[in-house]
Amino acid sequence: MLTDHEKELIAKIWDKMIPVASDIGAECLLRMMTTFPGTKTYFAHLDIRPRSTHLRSHGKKIVLAIAECSKDISSMMVTLAPLQTLHAYKLRIDPCNFKILSHCIMVVLSMLFAEEFTPQIHVAVDKFLALVALALAEKYR
Ligand code: ZNH
């Protein structure tokens, strides 16, 4: 569970990401596909070269979807409902990939925010992304 202070930290950091969502999102996806090449199989229909338009636009969608969750963490299940169905039934993404992407997001944030990325923020982001991953995996059972 996130404390009220952690929720504030999350809202703040994701707010900063919104204006640069495509840059951050593309970097997270590139790292996911480079470090865990198996994840590329889901994107066979897209151009996944570094900085490609597809990578940037898809990355932006992911960052913005998570930003939406960050605004009201307790309503995440409702916010993510359409994405739960999409990932479980249509895209059939193996839920273990949500953890992989979360890990890559964490790495990118730590690079991007460097000194600002305190251990407290690290914990808060870790808990928050675990909740997002859990919520996204909900429809699989
Ligand atoms: Zn996902 C799609 C989000 C993870 C794969 N996604 C998507 C979208 C969104 C998202 C928002 C869009 C939708 C529409 O358009 O309507 N994701 C998300 C999130 C997450 C995710 C938030 C976490 C955190 N995904 C994921 C993973 C994977 C994926 C991990 C793999 C590996 N997705 C995907 C795909 C798609 C999506 C394949 C489709 C794309 C296209 O465009 O086709």
Domains and CATH numbers, the chain: 4-140 (1.10.490.10)
Predicted confidence at residue 1, as pLDDT, reads: 87
Residue type at position 53: T
Mutate to test the pocket of ligand 1, among 32, 55, 62, 134 (most ligand atoms within 8 A of CB): 62
Digit-coded pLDDT (tens) for 24-41? 999 999 999 999 999 999
ipTM over 0.95: yes
Angle at Cα 130 formed by Cα 64 and Cα 91, nearest 5°?
Answer: 60
Is residue 47 within 8 A of residue 54, CB to CB? The reply is yes
Residue whose CB lies within 8 A of the most ligand 1 atoms, among 18, 36, 42, for a mutation test:
42
Query: Does the pTM exceed 0.90?
Result: yes
pLDDT in tens, 74-91: 999 999 999 999 999 999
Tell me, in angstroms, the distance from the centre of ligand 1 to residue 87's CA. 7
Tens digit of pLDDT for each residue in 45-73?
999 999 899 999 999 999 999 999 999 99
Among 57, 58, 59, 80, which Cα is nearest to 68's? 80
Query: How many other CB atoms are found less than 10 A from the CB of residue 73?
Result: 19
